[in-house]
Amino acid sequence: MLEFRKDLFADERDDNLNVIGKGEQRQDMLGHVTGRTRFFDDHGFDGLLHLKVVRSPHHHARIRSIDVSAAERAPGVKRVIRAQDVPVNKNTLLSLIGFGKDDEPTLAVDKVRYKGEPIVAIIAASDAEAMAAVKLVRVSYDPLPTVFDVQEALKPGAVVVNETYPGNYFEYHDKYDHQKLRFGDVEAAFRTADHVLEERYQMSPIEHASTETNGTIAAPETNNRYVVHSCAQGLFFSLGTTAKILALESNRLHFIGGTVGGGFGGKVDSLTEPLAVLGAILTGQPVRYVLGREEEMQFGSPRGAERHVIKDGVMRDGRIVARQITSYFDAGAYTRLSSYGVVKCVAHMPGPYTIPNVRGDAYCVFTNRVPATAMRGFGVTGLDFSIEVQMDKLAHLVGIDPMEFRILNAYRDGDMKAHRRVAHNTALIECVQVAAQKVNWPLSETARRASSLSGGGGPRAAIPPTVTDESGRIGRPETRQAPPQLTPGAAPLPAYQPAPAVPVQQPAAPLPNYPSQPAAAAPLPAPTPPVQTPPPTPQHGAARFSSVFTRRR
Amino acid sequence: MARMPVQFRLNGTDRAVFVEPVETLLGTIRRGLGDFAPKFGCGQGTCGACTVLVDGEPRLGCLTLSVTCEGRSIETASGLADGPTLHPLQAAFMEHFAAQCGFCTPGMLMAAKALLDRNPDPTRVEVVEAIAGNICRCTGYEPIINAILAAAQQRGARRA
Ligand code: FES
Ligand code: FES
């Protein structure tokens, strides 16, 4: 049930909305209930051929030889596609926006890096004949040692999964081994905190399991173009990827889609489009490549596994004074979208709380698991789970009610985030208050009177002195051994955008290297407890939750 | 293997088609006869997306051989509406937001129709049991259950 709390931020919101809050019929609903909605597979073609792939039974192996002769002679087989038939047989999805190196073949060349990796494609007159011919392809392998654990993969001397990234980590901007966030001095804060709690959280891969599996039908059109009925969630993304892999002008591809039988992130990888189109080019006939349910469950990319190690310093009165998070994202054997998930993860640290000393490190790690991809808030969901479980444990540790503990530490408007942006339009306090009310959870008078609109800013808007190296970059204690050609973890400081009317506390002189810094060199910024006052009456209207309005608080 | 002729009634119209002996009813309806309403979700009898009615009984199209349907009457979601007039289940699904991606919807509707044809006034538990073999990854089932109950109520009201 959707409920509008008109009492919250009422004076800041336009309430004369035309659609939001009112029931609106979806434009595609009539098609759904009459069975007329056309998904990618709901298109008839004469002479439709069917494509199936030979998949690796090994997690990691060198390919010694591939013999397709028996498969080529099998009944119904029209064409066998090998790695050398793929025009550009190395790609990475985000190369379309210039992010990351090409690291994944459409069909494996000399090595397989995960169980289920496609090696050869067979096109036959029927599904059953294609499947029968798949079994006739003889591939001989030399199995290689495997690595399945993110922290093992980062150890020096670990087996190299993906030669494009020899350190087993994605290289940000071609030089950094991970993403990094520094704000204040967590080590100094841990030394003076009343309690320090370090816990490890992890999450298994999750398969989207959309009711429709991944698939594509591609067919020659009359004008030297190919029509592509695609399941893709991002149709133009898939068009660009297919054009690149097949070295085609994109105007020769006529993609039709956008009607997705459940996606949730599992249909952004263009798993089937390039091979289906290549099949249509090579056979001159319509080609259908659809994953079976078992393929979808085992080899369709899932949400990747994550591990988060969180160390917090907390005072007896409940204020969190330091939070350190080290995150490992298991990309599987190839990048796909995991590199981007890691960026989102770091952007989400340290959660919606005002903490004066924060340190974050997040790695995108290659292992011999099935490549991971997007799924509903990936990069953020697993971290949030970890942070919120940690919040409950911290509340328990200091003997404060968990709801009150969150209200005490929540971001308020005007607070400085660890990313050196001023918090705007915060609403965690109100969310917790409403949640407590819904379940009749007793809150103290102070917690009930707290507001996101008051108590923030002032000293809570300060940027604490942050440890940097000689070149003005964020220093590091080593978090892993990086190959020498890389600058280990030395990401430049995020550009500081001064917020208007917020006093900023900057270190007067460059600080010494992290390792040589004496224990109490930097003044330890203490969190300033929010002042408990009733919310002021703001003078302005509209748009608390909108970024499109020009007037912002 | 030799292809075999099969005749059955599909949504009220007599159809004849040649099928492979191992061909599934789902394959025949979709690729043989061009009615794409029933869907392939698993091909293993686990998702219910292929649900059709055979002589009024819900059947999984992916596990039913076409040759066993000789002389039977098959119904799919394409035949639910009476011209432009929606079946009460279709109207209730629209009203109650019982579809998101819509991929499970044709199967859900047929499972629900089989239930209401046999039991016009089902309890909530009976509705849940009737669609227990149909997987929906989008809606969380609640809107679907509510829609089926509402359709039953509305039909009851019309009868009274
Ligand atoms: S396709 Fe028949 S039960 Fe899934
Ligand atoms: S609406 Fe998407 S599976 Fe049910």
8 A C-beta contact, residue A111 and residue A104:
no
Mean pLDDT, residues A528-544 taken together: 47
Q: Would you call A67 helix, strand, or coil by DSSP? A: strand
User: Cβ(B33) to ligand 2 under 6 A?
Assistant: no
Mean pLDDT, residues A335-346 taken together: 97
Q: Which residue has the higher pLDDT, A549 or B149?
A: B149
Q: What does the DSSP assignment read for A105-160?
A: -SS-SSEE-STT-EEEEEEESSHHHHHHHHTT-EEEEEE------HHHHTSTTPPP
Task: Find the residue in A nearest to B103 (Cα).
Answer: A261
pLDDT tens digits along B26-36? 999 999 999 99
Which amino acid belongs to residue A356? Answer: P
Dihedrals φ, ψ of A54, to 5°? Answer: -85, 130
Largest CA distance in chain A: 82
Task: Find the residue in B nearest to A258 (Cα).
Answer: B101
Cα angle B109, B86, A262; round to 5: 40
Indicate if the pLDDT at residue A524 is higher than 70: no
pLDDT of residue A531: 56
Sign of the dihedral through C-alpha A170, A176, A180, A185: positive
Indicate if the pLDDT at residue A550 is higher than 60: no
What is the percent of chain A with per-residue pLDDT over 90, rounded to a whole number?
79
Lowest-confidence segment of A181-185, A282-286, A540-544, B82-86 by average pLDDT: A540-544
Mean pLDDT, residues A457-474 taken together: 82
Question: What distance lies between CA A341 and its chain's CA centroid?
Answer: 2
8 A C-beta contact, residue A228 and residue A247:
no
8 A C-beta contact, residue A267 and residue A258:
no
Torsion of CA A539, A540, A546, A548, to 10 degrees: -140
pLDDT confidence bin for A282, thresholds 50/70/90:
very high
Indicate if the pLDDT at residue A479 is higher than 90: no
Angle of the A381-398 helix axis to the A338-348 helix axis, nearest 10: 30
Indicate if the pLDDT at residue A409 is higher than 70: yes
* Average pLDDT in chain A: 87
Q: What is the A22 CA–ligand 1 centroid distance (Å)?
A: 36
Q: B47, A211: Cβ pair inside 8 Å?
A: yes
pLDDT of residue B64: 98
Indicate if the pLDDT at residue A518 is higher than 50: no
Q: A211, B43: Cβ pair inside 8 Å?
A: no
Picking from A35, A212, A290, the nearest residue to B77 by CB comes out as: A35
Token representation of residue A10: 């009422």
User: Cβ(B49) to ligand 2 under 6 A?
Assistant: no
Q: A35, B135: Cβ pair inside 8 Å?
A: no
Q: Which domains does chain B possess?
A: 4-79 (3.10.20.30), 88-159 (1.10.150.120)
Q: Would you call B82 helix, strand, or coil by DSSP? A: strand
Q: What does the DSSP assignment read for A196-209?
A: EEEEEEEE--B---
Task: Find the residue in A nearest to B88 (Cα).
Answer: A33
User: Cβ(B104) to ligand 2 under 6 A?
Assistant: yes
B148: left (phi over 0), alpha (psi -120 to 50) or beta: alpha
Q: State whether residue B133 sits within 8 Å of chain A by CB.
A: no
pLDDT of residue A129: 97
Q: What's the length of chain A?
A: 553
Establish, for the pair of chains A and B, how many residue pairs have beta carbons separated by less than 8 Å: 100
pLDDT of residue B2: 85
Task: Find the residue in B nearest to A46 (Cα).
Answer: B31
pLDDT tens digits along A211-226? 999 999 999 999 999 9
User: CA-to-CA distance for A128 and A133, rounded, in angstroms?
Assistant: 9
Q: B94, A35: Cβ pair inside 8 Å?
A: no
- Global pTM reads 0.88
Q: Would you call B145 helix, strand, or coil by DSSP? A: helix
Q: Tell me, what's the ipTM?
A: 0.97
Lowest-confidence segment of A99-103, A208-212, A270-274, A517-521 by average pLDDT: A517-521
Mean pLDDT, residues A407-435 taken together: 96
8 A C-beta contact, residue A345 and residue A386:
no
Q: Would you call A406 helix, strand, or coil by DSSP? A: helix
pLDDT tens digits along B43-79? 999 999 999 999 999 999 999 999 999 999 999 999 9
pLDDT of residue A503: 32
Q: State whether residue B112 sits within 8 Å of chain A by CB.
A: no
Indicate if the pLDDT at residue A527 is higher than 70: no
Indicate if the pLDDT at residue A499 is higher than 80: no
Indicate if the pLDDT at residue A493 is higher than 60: no
Q: Which domains does chain A possess?
A: 49-144+208-298 (3.90.1170.50), 150-205+302-545 (3.30.365.10)
Question: Which of A169-178, B98-107, B150-159 has the largest mean confidence?
Answer: B98-107
pLDDT of residue A509: 40
Q: Which residue has the higher pLDDT, A505 or B40?
A: B40
Q: State whether residue B84 sits within 8 Å of chain A by CB.
A: no
Q: How many CB atoms lie within 10 A of CB A195?
A: 13
Q: What's the gap in Å between the CA of B76 and the closest CA on chain A?
A: 8
Mean pLDDT, residues A104-123 taken together: 98
Q: State whether residue B128 sits within 8 Å of chain A by CB.
A: no
8 A C-beta contact, residue A397 and residue A195:
yes
Token representation of residue B74: 């098959």
Q: Which residues of A touch B78 (CB under 8 A)?
A: 34-36
Pocket lining for ligand 1, CB < 6 angstroms: B 40-43, 45-50, 60, 62
pLDDT tens digits along A71-86? 999 999 999 999 999 9
Indicate if the pLDDT at residue A526 is higher than 70: no
Atom of ligand 2 nearest to the CA of A262: 2
The helix (run of H) or strand (run of E) holding residue A405 is helix A402-409
Q: Which residue's CA lies nearest to atom 4 of ligand 2?
A: B136
pLDDT tens digits along A256-271? 998 999 999 999 999 9
Q: A293, B78: Cβ pair inside 8 Å?
A: no
Picking from A35, A210, A260, the nearest residue to B106 by CB comes out as: A35
3-state percent helix, strand, coil for chain B, nearest multiple of 5 = 40, 20, 40
Mean pLDDT, residues A427-432 taken together: 96
pLDDT of residue B1: 62
Indicate if the pLDDT at residue A471 is higher than 70: no
Q: What's the length of chain B?
A: 160
pLDDT of residue A476: 52
Q: Annotate A101-127 with b (16+ C-beta within 10 A) or e (fewer).
A: ebbbbbbbeebbbbbbbbbbbbbbbbb
Picking from B36, B44, B109, the nearest residue to A42 by CB comes out as: B36
Mean pLDDT, residues A31-42 taken together: 98
User: CA-to-CA distance for A361 and A347, rounded, in angstroms?
Assistant: 11
pLDDT of residue A3: 75
Mean pLDDT, residues B97-105 taken together: 97
pLDDT of residue A47: 96
- Which ligand has the nearest atom to the CA of B24? 1
Report which DSSP code applies to B136. Answer: -
Which amino acid belongs to residue A163? Answer: E
Q: State whether residue B22 sits within 8 Å of chain A by CB.
A: yes
Lowest-confidence segment of A103-117, A399-413, A470-484, A499-513 by average pLDDT: A499-513
Mean pLDDT, residues B18-40 taken together: 97
Q: What's the gap in Å between the CA of B157 and the closest CA on chain A?
A: 22
pLDDT of residue A301: 94
pLDDT tens digits along A38-74? 999 999 999 999 999 999 999 999 999 999 999 999 9
Task: Find the residue in B nearest to A292 (Cα).
Answer: B42
